Structure 1
Amino acid sequence: MKPPAREPLSRARRTAIHLEVRDQYASTDPDFLAWREGRRTFTPDNRADWWEGWHDAVHGAVSRGVTVRRARVVSEPLTEYVRWEHAYALTNVAAGEEVRWLPRRQARDLAVPAVDFWVFDGELVLFHHFSGDGVLMEREYVTDASLAAWCTGAFDAIWERATPHEEYKPV
């Protein structure tokens, strides 16, 4: 599999946007399983226990002046997995990401890509292709200005309607 989003994020100069549209990802994630069992390992006061390479990459990009934004289109009521993502998002925010949530019913009139993606500097698109049970199967990197513009426009429409993480109350 090609390198993850961390590599293009390290080269980003202005923006990195990430859209997530799935209600379930790989449910074998150890952090998810620990959360599911009631262990909350990612509270703000124990940062050393959850801060990892991804957080360093985001923090480094933001320190260079890159705006990093993540939007999630979610079904309500939230799946157990997305509830965990909501709880875990405090780590993304601590690293410098801006995170917003949009209930799927509020996106009914938007043209939204059917796959998760990143767009770096409005130029490079990284699509994430998952199996039906949420396992990442392929990362597809595409350099196509019109596709990057379309994905950015879709993301911006979602972002405008979405609720900031600090204000979103899971249903």
Structure 2
Amino acid sequence: MTQNVPDFVTMLRAAERSAVHLEMRDVYSVGDEVAEFEEFKRTGHIDLDPTAAWWPAWLGIVRETVGRGVVMRRARIISEPVTDYIRWEHAATPLNIEAGEQVRWLPRRQASDIALPGNDFWLIDDTLVRWNHFTGVGDWDDPKYSVSDDPAVIKLCETAFETVWERGIPHDQYTV
């Protein structure tokens, strides 16, 4: 287990080939999304302006990373019927795709036979795993992140992600 957790932007800027992200929760409650999510629940509207809220920083680093030839893929394992949060994520995903990420969705019932790690993660160039730690209600835990360069952990994450990706439904084909 690597103890020093590099800044995420630094990790993406160091990526040479791939950055993959596996999300497995049906609800996240992190502070920087609360206002937009509450607005969506009240109105059903989502602001797809890439210059609004926190989007510019994220979309910029995605464009920069993909522009260097790094493939960025995100897979989400979700329960059905989907939660309001997943419905909101799905509605916002076109911005991720426009920036260069590839996104797929896998209904949880199709993941029952996949060996999955206990936490969401990013895997960078098949050499470093960055775990995202959340509380039971979906807010950031303390610490928020940890990393591992253990070959067995990397193999678990790589295999889990690729299996989910293979079974996953491309965003433009998945409806909520």
| Fold match (TM-score > 0.5) | yes
Q: List, as ranges, runs of 4+ consecutive aligned residues in structure 1 with deviation greater than 6 Å.
A: none
Aligned match for 2:104, one of 81, 86, 100: 100
Superposition pairs of residues 1-171 of structure 1, within 5 angstroms = 4-26=7-29, 29-38=34-43, 40-43=45-48, 46-49=49-52, 51-137=55-141, 138-170=144-176
Aligned residues of 1:6 and 1:54 also touching (Cα < 8 A) = no
Structure 1 residue 108: deviation in Å?
A: 1.1
Post-superposition CA distance 1:23-50 (Å, at most 9, x none): 111065222122122163433xx33335
Structure 2-normalised TM-score?
0.89
**Which ranges of structure 1 fall in alignment gaps of 5 or more residues?**
none
Counterpart Cα distance in 1 of 2:132 and 2:89: 17
Distance 2:47 2:6 in 1: 26
State how far apart, in whole Å, the 2-side matches of 1:39 and 1:158 are: 29
Quick one: distance in 1 between partners of 2:107 and 2:71? Answer: 23
- Find the residue that maps to 1:25 and give its secondary structure: coil
Identity value in percent: 41
Post-superposition Cα deviations, 1:4-62, rounded to whole Å, max 9, x if no partner, equal 5332112111000000000111065222122122163433xx33335410110111000
Structure 2: gaps spanning 5 or more residues: none
Distance in 2 between the 1:145 and 1:3 partners?
18
Q: Which amino acid aligns with 2:106?
A: L
Cα RMSD after superposing both structures: 1.8
Q: State TM-score, norm by structure 1.
A: 0.91
